[in-house]
């Protein structure tokens, strides 16, 4: 039998010692008899002389009479039996003195001694809660008394231990200390194993691409954790929350919120599960090439500014890059000198690559003038002016006047 004990310095041991405060749990229900030489021998592993095998010879009222040897009889209370014993049955008893030529017998101590041999560290037992104190629960494992620290009663700290009184709990044996007559139990370890089994079953039913329901448990700057049930939790990274750019997940998510998520990846046996929410939203890139024509002018909002250019949101989830060279006619050293996040700009679509989720933008019209400036002339106006040129007049000598006329006509609009 294992008599292993945890390190006396660990938190659990300190919690147990503080709760028990020197209490010998086994002495609560055992008769207070002087320690004899025979009991000393038993403690050292020797045969106890006050343990006798006897035969039930009769039952009268509350008295059970036992033949324990030649011209030796004893008596024991019927209350020490789970049910009335049959006459002729043989059992072991402990002797506790003589009275009226009869030995006083007991089965409690012998049952406890037998039970000690059956209790092993790591074994699973049924224990009935008999009491409580600030440190935990007092229980019975058969005839043996046991203790369960408050931190081992449930998966979470229990404030009301009284709710467990008289209940029978399934527990794991943490420690067996015969010297101190102490047994330590844990219900939490059983619940942990059950939860782990359920977690594995839940993870086994998940596959990449699957859409499941969950509940947000906590929100961090990098994303949100979502409970998928049975202790299985996944992470929705901030980049996978929405098609539109999200700076802080708390802008759209909060603890307790019910969400639909898609399984993106499962790693380390389900210990790391990547989730996505934006994947369940319509992808604006699928329609971008049909919705936005090349050279068309659209309005957008500045979302980010980098040294190489400015990102402009055309609609939620659809951003284009306005390269620094396309910000103005003249050279721009720092984009932040011209625009800031939140600014609304009129931009021209230069190119669209849906497969790469890229849109190139420009603030210049096809002829290099800043969109919206006086120098900017609608291409149709210029083309119309070009058509009005007559072959009799050289194009080079009249092009300047044509541009002036186009600008003048455009200004009247």
Higher pLDDT, 314 or 92: 314
pLDDT, mean of residues 229-244:
92
Whether the per-residue pLDDT at 243 is higher than 90: the answer is no
- DSSP for 347-404? EEEEEEEGGGTEEEEESB-TTSPBTTSTT---HHHHHHHHHT--TTS-HHHHHHHHHH
> Mean pLDDT lowest for which of 5-14, 133-142, 168-177, 241-250?
5-14
pLDDT, mean of residues 99-128:
79
Whether the per-residue pLDDT at 366 is higher than 90: the answer is no
CB 347 within 8 A of CB 312: yes
Whether the per-residue pLDDT at 348 is higher than 90: the answer is yes
- Determine how many CB atoms are found less than 10 A away from the CB of residue 32: 5
User: Each residue of 1-58: pLDDT tens digit?
Assistant: 444 444 445 666 666 666 665 554 544 444 333 333 334 434 433 344 477 889 999 9
Strand 211-220 and strand 182-186: the pairing is: unpaired
Spell out the alpha helix ranges (H) of 79-226.
108-118, 188-204
pLDDT number for residue 301: 93
CATH number of 207-280, picked from 2.40.50.140, 3.40.1410.10, 2.10.25.10, 1.10.260.40: 2.40.50.140
CB 152 within 8 A of CB 198: no
Whether the per-residue pLDDT at 356 is higher than 80: the answer is yes
- pLDDT tier, 383 (very low <50, low <70, confident <90, very high otherwise): low
Task: Give whichever of 33-47, 361-375, 381-395 has the largest mean pLDDT.
Answer: 361-375
Domain(s) labelled CATH 2.40.50.140 in the chain stretch across: 11-27+119-192, 37-111, 207-280, 285-362
State the DSSP H helix or E strand holding residue 285, giving kind and residue range, or none if neither. Answer: helix 285-291
Whether the per-residue pLDDT at 392 is higher than 60: the answer is no
Higher pLDDT, 59 or 269: 59
Q: Which CATH architecture has domain 11-27+119-192?
A: Beta Barrel (2.40)
Residue 81 neighbours by CB under 8 Å, 6+ apart = 64, 107
Higher pLDDT, 387 or 85: 85
Strand 102-106 and strand 318-323: the pairing is: unpaired
Range 37-111 classified under CATH 3.40.190.10: no
State the DSSP H helix or E strand holding residue 405, giving kind and residue range, or none if neither. Answer: helix 395-412
pLDDT number for residue 382: 60
pLDDT number for residue 31: 39
Residue 90 neighbours by CB under 8 Å, 6+ apart = 53, 54, 55, 56
User: Each residue of 277-322: pLDDT tens digit?
Assistant: 999 988 888 888 888 999 999 999 999 999 999 999 998 889 999 9
**119 to each of 93, 129, 233, how far by Cα in Å?**
21, 18, 37
Residue 383 neighbours by CB under 8 Å, 6+ apart = none
- pLDDT tier, 381 (very low <50, low <70, confident <90, very high otherwise): low
Quote the CA–CA distance of 68 and 92 in Å, as a whole number: 9
Tell me the torsion sign for CA atoms 88, 89, 94, 96.
negative
Quote the CA–CA distance of 189 and 186 in Å, as a whole number: 6
Query: What token pair was written down for 245?
Result: 């750019």
Q: What does CATH list as the number for 285-362?
A: 2.40.50.140
- DSSP for 215-248? EEEEEETTEEEEEEETTEEEEEEGGGS-SS--S-
Percent of the chain exceeding pLDDT 90 equals 45
Whether the per-residue pLDDT at 242 is higher than 70: the answer is yes
Length of the chain measured in residues: 413
Specify the 3-state DSSP secondary structure of 203.
helix
Average pLDDT, the chain: 81
């Amino acid at each position: 039998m294992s008599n292993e004990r945890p390190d006396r310095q660990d938190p659990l041991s300190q919690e147990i010692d503080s709760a028990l405060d020197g209490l010998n749990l086994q002495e609560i229900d055992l008769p207070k008899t002087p320690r004899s030489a025979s009991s000393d021998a038993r403690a050292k592993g020797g045969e106890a002389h006050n343990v006798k095998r006897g035969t039930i010879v009769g039952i009268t009222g509350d008295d059970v009479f036992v033949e324990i040897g030649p011209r030796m009889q004893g008596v024991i209370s019927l209350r020490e039996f789970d049910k009335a014993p049959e006459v002729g049955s043989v059992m072991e008893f402990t002797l506790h003195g003589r009275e009226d030529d009869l030995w006083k017998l007991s089965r409690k101590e012998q049952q406890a001694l037998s039970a000690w041999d059956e209790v092993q560290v790591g074994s699973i037992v049924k224990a009935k809660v008999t009491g409580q104190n600030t440190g935990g629960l007092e229980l019975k494992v058969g005839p043996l008394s046991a203790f369960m620290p408050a931190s081992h009663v449930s998966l979470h700290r229990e404030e009301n231990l009284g709710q467990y009184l008289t209940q029978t709990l399934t527990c794991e044996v943490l420690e067996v200390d015969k010297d101190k007559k102490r047994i330590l139990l844990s219900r939490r370890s059983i619940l942990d194993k059950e939860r782990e089994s359920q977690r594995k079953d839940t993870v086994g039913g998940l596959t990449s691409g699957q859409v499941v329901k969950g509940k947000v448990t906590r929100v961090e700057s990098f994303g949100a954790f979502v409970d998928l049930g049975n202790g299985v939790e996944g992470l929705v990274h901030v980049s996978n929350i929405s098609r539109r750019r999200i700076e802080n997940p708390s802008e759209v998510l909060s603890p307790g919120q019910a969400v639909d998520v898609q399984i993106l990846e499962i790693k380390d046996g389900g210990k790391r599960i990547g989730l996505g929410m934006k994947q369940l939203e319509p992808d604006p890139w699928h329609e971008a090439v049909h919705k936005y024509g090349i050279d068309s002018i659209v309005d957008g909002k500045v979302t980010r500014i980098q040294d190489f250019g400015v990102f402009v949101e055309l609609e939620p989830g659809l951003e284009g890059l306005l390269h620094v060279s396309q910000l103005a006619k003249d050279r721009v050293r720092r984009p932040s000198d011209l625009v800031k996040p939140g600014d609304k700009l009129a931009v021209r679509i230069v190119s669209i690559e849906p497969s790469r989720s890229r849109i190139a933008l420009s603030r210049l019209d096809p002829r290099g003038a800043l969109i919206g400036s006086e120098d900017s002339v609608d291409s149709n106006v210029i083309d119309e002016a070009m058509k009005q040129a007559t072959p009799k007049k050289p194009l080079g000598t009249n092009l300047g006047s044509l541009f002036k006329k186009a600008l003048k006509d455009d200004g009247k609009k």
